[in-house]
Structure 1
Amino acid sequence: MAETPLKPVLQKPPGYRDPNFPAANSGFRPPPRKPVLPPSFHPRKRRSRFCRVCCCSLCIFLSVLILLVLIGAMIFYFWFDPKLPRFHVQSIRMTRFNVTKKPDGTYLDAATTMRLEVKNPNLKMTYYYGDTAFDVSFGEGGDETATGTTAVPGFTMGKQSTTSLKVETKASNMLVADDVGNRLRNGHRSKRLPVNVEARTKVGLGLAGLKIGKVAVTVKCDGITMRHLDGGDMPKCVINMLKW
Structure 2
Amino acid sequence: MSQPPLKPVLQKPPGYKDPNATAVQPGFRPPPRKRVLPPSFHPKKTKSSCCRVCCCCFCIFFFILFLLIIICGAVFYLWFDPKLPSFHVQSFRISRFNVTKKPDGTYLDATTTARIEVKNPNGKMTYYYGHTEVDVSIGEGGDETELGTKTVHDFSLGKQKTTSLKVETKASNKLVVDGVGKRLLTRYRSKTLPLNVEARTKVGVGVAGLKIGMVGVTVKCDGITMKQLDGGDMPKCVINTLKWLNIR
What range describes the TM-score normalised by the shorter chain of this pair? Answer: 0.7 to 0.9
Q: Could you tell me how far apart the structure 2 residues matched to 1:121 and 1:109 are?
A: 39
Per-residue deviation, 1:143: 2.3
- The answer for the alignment partner of 2:7 in structure 1 is none
- The answer for the alignment partner of 2:63 in structure 1 is 63
Change (3 A) 1:76 1:170: same
**Aligned-partner residue type, residue 125 of structure 1:** M
Per-residue deviation, 1:236: 0.2
**Aligned-partner residue type, residue 132 of structure 2:** T
Number of residues paired by the alignment?
206
1:43-82, aligned counterparts within 5 Å?
45-82=45-82
Q: Could you tell me how far apart the structure 2 residues matched to 1:89 and 1:201 are?
A: 16
Q: Could you tell me how far apart the structure 2 residues matched to 1:223 and 1:179 are?
A: 20
Q: Check if 1:125 corresponds to 2:144.
A: no
Q: TM-score, normalization: structure 1?
A: 0.81
1:150-189, aligned counterparts within 5 Å?
150-189=150-189
- The answer for the alignment partner of 2:147 in structure 1 is 147
- What SS is found at the alignment partner of 1:193? coil
Q: Which runs of 4+ in 1 moved over 3 A?
A: none
Q: Could you tell me how far apart the structure 2 residues matched to 1:242 and 1:148 are?
A: 26
Q: Check if 1:98 corresponds to 2:116.
A: no
Aligned-residue RMSD, C-alpha: 1.8
Identity of aligned residues (%): 73
**Segment drifting more, 56-65 vs 184-193:** 56-65
Q: Deviations over 1:70-119 (max 9, x none)?
A: 11111111111111100001111001100000111000000000111100
**Aligned-partner residue type, residue 104 of structure 1:** D
Show structure 1 runs of 5+ residues with no match.
Answer: 1-33, 37-41
Q: Could you tell me how far apart the structure 2 residues matched to 1:43 and 1:140 are?
A: 76
Q: Could you tell me how far apart the structure 2 residues matched to 1:92 and 1:48 are?
A: 71
- The answer for the alignment partner of 1:213 in structure 2 is 213
- What SS is found at the alignment partner of 1:49? helix
Per-residue deviation, 1:43: 7.7
Per-residue deviation, 1:215: 1.0
Q: Could you tell me how far apart the structure 2 residues matched to 1:144 and 1:120 are?
A: 31
Q: Could you tell me how far apart the structure 1 residues matched to 2:152 and 2:46 are?
A: 66
Per-residue deviation, 1:61: 0.9
Per-residue deviation, 1:243: 3.6
- What SS is found at the alignment partner of 1:83? coil
Q: Deviations over 1:185-227 (max 9, x none)?
A: 0110000000000000111110000111111110000000000
Q: Deviations over 1:48-73 (max 9, x none)?
A: 11111111111111111111111111
Per-residue deviation, 1:242: 2.9
- What SS is found at the alignment partner of 2:193? coil
- The answer for the alignment partner of 1:192 in structure 2 is 192
Q: Could you tell me how far apart the structure 2 residues matched to 1:72 and 1:211 are?
A: 17
Q: Could you tell me how far apart the structure 2 residues matched to 1:153 and 1:68 are?
A: 38
Q: Could you tell me how far apart the structure 1 residues matched to 2:206 and 2:242 are?
A: 18
